[in-house]
Structure 1
Amino acid sequence: MSPLRYTLAVIVSSTREGRFAPVVANWFTRHASTHPEIDLDVIDLDVIRPYELRPGSEEFESFAKRVEQADAYVVITPEYNHSFPAPLKHAIDLLYAQWRAKPVGFVSYGGISGGLRAVEQLRLVFAELHATTVRETVSFALTGKPFDEAGQLRDPGPATEAADALLRQLTWWAVALREARTVRPYAA
């Protein structure tokens, strides 16, 4: 394995009926898969069903292991009522040490703000878990406008540039923090 290769867990946070999350997640994962240093693991909370996870269960242990094995995360989140979805908060709160000393990036969508108010709150949550959030984000305002009926971006330039900036930062942090955790365990 190349020292620059790392595992990126993409967490799809919306579980609502008729959710737009798969459109955004499919676009982002297609783009991220063009980066040869990244191994993707898509963790869809609509499939994981975090409210049903019980510590000690096989499903819980599988979720915890996937989060533990990731070197970095991208959270794909809508903005609901100026915040992020409750199932995401529950999924985050199920674990603790698995998130520590790892970078987190955000792809957000929704309304005029493009989901950035949800991202602001998520930065606070991840700071409490000793995770490092990267500055660059990808956000989509008024999600019906940037994507066509087939789920393709009408103008991929700006979003692609933002995604590449986000992935460059995540790659740097993922590799640097993995090396640091190997040399010296994180002091919580």
Structure 2
Amino acid sequence: QFNPFNGSISDFTWSHDGSSIASCSSSDNTVYVRLTTPLQSIPSDTFVLPAGCQCLDYNSSSRFLLCGCVDGSLHIWDSKSRAIKNSYTQKSKHPVTVVRWNWNDTYVSLGFENGNILLYNVATGQASSPLVTPSINTIRQLKYNPYSKSSLASVSDGGAVNFWDTNTRRLVHAFTETHQ
């Protein structure tokens, strides 16, 4: 058993190649990465962020790890160089609740506690204007459609499921009160 945190674990993620798992806690600034085999996991890396980390996501090559933090910042950790490659901060400072790579790892999506969603271009570091949900509720999950590359679904605390077109940055459909 491996339990590096004093508090609860906020999130964990497997690498896409199955070789490692990363875990984080919003009450701890450290992210722990462990190498995995069918029989065991071995401590591999740890790195410290400026604030507690709430959410994680590996890119498709399993090299880069997104880390969304309680201070509204986003960090991209490079497993090859074992260093933070990029960091992005928001003016609003609302906690990041979910992070997700798009299908070809060129954009990242961030969901926030205030109900907004931002899309970042990884190459330029530019953020889109916020995608604003119809009701202001914490974004809990983001998923890209594997068959329609510009389709993004979001789920919020208010029980709504929203479909977005990331090319036009518009809400396509809102299923309100889905889980109430």
Give TM-score, length-normalised by structure 2. 0.29
Greater relative contact order (Cα 8 A, min sep 6): structure 1 or 2?
A: 1
Please give the TM-score of this superposition, normalised by the length of structure 1: 0.28
Which has the larger helix fraction?
A: 1
The structure with the greater share of residues assigned to strand is 2
